[in-house]
Structure 1
């Protein structure tokens, strides 16, 4: 733990880290300058003492390493020059080339591979040639070959560090991209869910408000002359408003979070409530006939809800646009692997024109529902007057994905 804390602190202060590295390299060069590897013992201290020029060159090389992150190529040039000077002037020579090796490591770790290769070849050639050709030792001495080996090791180690950093960075970027992709997918799913809930809200509100509007108009019309009929109409208004509130509560309840208080909900409506739906429109004065030949087929929940909403929206449009004396016909037929929904109205004379295909949010919502289940929806005026809504829904279906063609 203490080591990790110290490492974080040094990483946060690179100049202090480089200064400590420069001091360590200087100590190593000073220690190496006092050792005579050719003595009879393994290590012999105080056999030779570096001259003042060698001490100056070692100090300058170490100081230059403090700026290795800011100007790696410049530091490599300075330390390489100091190493060449030491090779041709000092005897016994101090290991100034150690600073050049560290500088070459920094260049390899902070630049690309071609730059590393060029810098390594130039440094190895310059230092080794100076030591072999101008140094006091024979060209084949192990110290000269050691310079060649250590410069190669410095360049190789720096390139390995750079490659590892690149791999780690690539892994981090892939992880970030994957995280962004997951977030975008989550946002897309949230948007789709909001659109579905918005369609439900539109269908519910449009249906019940249309009924409330009609019944309130009837009540106002017969209030003075036929109070019993006005009372019945107001009862229908109350029933429609209660149903609207219940469905709104159930739909908006989908937006609650897991920690929110529970709210009363009810199952999503389906074709099993078709007679009840038709009854609400009959109570509002719309003549509705229902014909079914679906053999009580068990439908997936999404298909059952979509069929119910299509009929509900179509009858609501009839109620709003076809006039008070209009007549609507609803048919539900099972045809092979599909179920067909048809809603027709006769378009009573003098009524408003029914909405054309694609107009209004109701038809758009129906089309989105059917298309999401890979079904088809056809809407348009009928020959001779009226309007027709025809939907074909697959009994076994899957929702459309982002990869499916539109």
Structure 2
């Protein structure tokens, strides 16, 4: 409901949360005025309730004032305020003017206590308060024990505890929903970061495979060219041509892999690496040009259709890495 408040009231609401004593002081003043005005009503008349002409007794005014003043600290010390308000109410019921509704302050204090505690404690304290007040009113009060005002105390205390427990439950529910939303948001962010890290690792592996493969070929062909440069220039030129093709192929694969990092709205950015098993012949050709005898044996074609892009790329990289290691460590022999 707070989200639907007019903008002009949001500042007031924030101030009330930051300074709870201010609203509680206004509430205490309002309750005091209500109790004093209510004490002028006299329900004990033969012709029915009517407005009394005499003011309340001095003791009743003092008790109403003390009970109302205790409400100023109701959020800081809910248990202490409840004890003070209940004590004032009990004294009023025993010795004061039965017209003074001090029990109103006790009901508000009991409501505040129920808001700030758990349900079992709230109901236990509520029943204890009700038993004490009703017992004092019946045993020592100026009214007969069967007076309706005595049994009305049960309604006041029960209603205060019920409303306070309902407000506490609603606040706890809202807090739990907000915490759940915050956890869900954190989980989504962590999942996004994890996926980004995995994608970076995959791209780094692809770059490693591409660079290692082609640099190994370039190194071999450059060594061949340097070795035969003086005696067989034609073979040196052929080796340099292989170097050129290997470097161009490396640049193409690097461009395709790095293109994955472009914005998705860029039409020139490929959506997946171009390398795959369909390019095995080109891959093996680069190693044959480097002097490594390679023979490709393919099994029967699979009936499941084309491989997924990730599996296709992984198989290509496995073959590429294996041949690169052979070229680097075993040589063309």
TM-score (norm 2): 0.90
- Structure 1 position 300 matched with structure 2 position 324: no
- The Cα shift of 1:321 comes to 1.1
Distance 1:300 1:264 in 2: 16
- The Cα shift of 1:194 comes to 2.0
- Structure 1 position 221 matched with structure 2 position 227: yes
Partner of 1:309: 317
User: Could you say if the C-alpha distance between residues 99 and 265 of structure 1 is closer, same or farther in structure 2, counting changes exceeding 3 Å?
Assistant: closer
Partner of 1:35: 41
Equivalent of 1:120 in 115, 126, 138: 126
Q: Report if aligned partners of 1:35, 1:48 keep a CA contact under 8 Å in 2.
A: no
Partner of 1:188: 194
3-state SS of the aligned residue for 1:290? Answer: coil
User: Could you say if the C-alpha distance between residues 133 and 265 of structure 1 is closer, same or farther in structure 2, counting changes exceeding 3 Å?
Assistant: closer
Structure 2 residues not aligned, in runs of 5+: 1-5
Identify the structure with the greater helix proportion.
2
Equivalent of 2:15 in 1, 9, 34: 9
Distance 1:42 1:227 in 2: 129
Q: Deviations over 1:142-171 (max 9, x none)?
A: 211111210111011111111112222222
Q: Report if aligned partners of 2:263, 2:269 keep a CA contact under 8 Å in 1.
A: no
- Structure 1 position 137 matched with structure 2 position 143: yes
Distance 1:242 1:52 in 2: 104
- Structure 1 position 284 matched with structure 2 position 290: yes
- Structure 1 position 242 matched with structure 2 position 248: yes
User: Could you say if the C-alpha distance between residues 301 and 264 of structure 1 is closer, same or farther in structure 2, counting changes exceeding 3 Å?
Assistant: closer
Equivalent of 1:159 in 154, 159, 165: 165
User: Could you say if the C-alpha distance between residues 41 and 228 of structure 1 is closer, same or farther in structure 2, counting changes exceeding 3 Å?
Assistant: farther
TM-score (norm 1): 0.74
Matches within 5 A, 1:355-366: none
- Structure 1 position 69 matched with structure 2 position 75: yes
**Higher RCO, 1 or 2 (CA under 8 Å, sep at least 6)?**
2
3-state SS of the aligned residue for 1:228? Answer: helix
Q: Report if aligned partners of 2:88, 2:102 keep a CA contact under 8 Å in 1.
A: yes
- The Cα shift of 1:139 comes to 1.2
Q: Deviations over 1:345-368 (max 9, x none)?
A: xxxxxxxxxxxxxxxxxxxxxxxx
- The Cα shift of 1:83 comes to 0.8
- The Cα shift of 1:172 comes to 2.1
Partner of 1:359: none
Partner of 1:84: 90
- Structure 1 position 210 matched with structure 2 position 222: no
Quick check: 38-47 or 50-59, which moved more?
Answer: 38-47
Q: Report if aligned partners of 2:257, 2:273 keep a CA contact under 8 Å in 1.
A: no
Quick check: 181-190 or 272-281, which moved more?
Answer: 181-190
3-state SS of the aligned residue for 1:291? Answer: coil
Partner of 2:274: 268
User: Could you say if the C-alpha distance between residues 7 and 45 of structure 1 is closer, same or farther in structure 2, counting changes exceeding 3 Å?
Assistant: farther
- The Cα shift of 1:267 comes to 5.2
Equivalent of 2:258 in 233, 252, 256: 252
Partner of 1:318: 326
Root mean square deviation of aligned Cα: 2.2
- The Cα shift of 1:204 comes to 0.8
- How many pairs align? 325
Quick check: 40-49 or 280-289, which moved more?
Answer: 40-49
Distance 2:276 2:134 in 1: 88
User: Could you say if the C-alpha distance between residues 271 and 258 of structure 1 is closer, same or farther in structure 2, counting changes exceeding 3 Å?
Assistant: closer
Distance 2:244 2:48 in 1: 106
Equivalent of 1:50 in 49, 56, 60: 56
User: Could you say if the C-alpha distance between residues 214 and 184 of structure 1 is closer, same or farther in structure 2, counting changes exceeding 3 Å?
Assistant: same
User: Could you say if the C-alpha distance between residues 196 and 41 of structure 1 is closer, same or farther in structure 2, counting changes exceeding 3 Å?
Assistant: farther
Partner of 2:113: 107
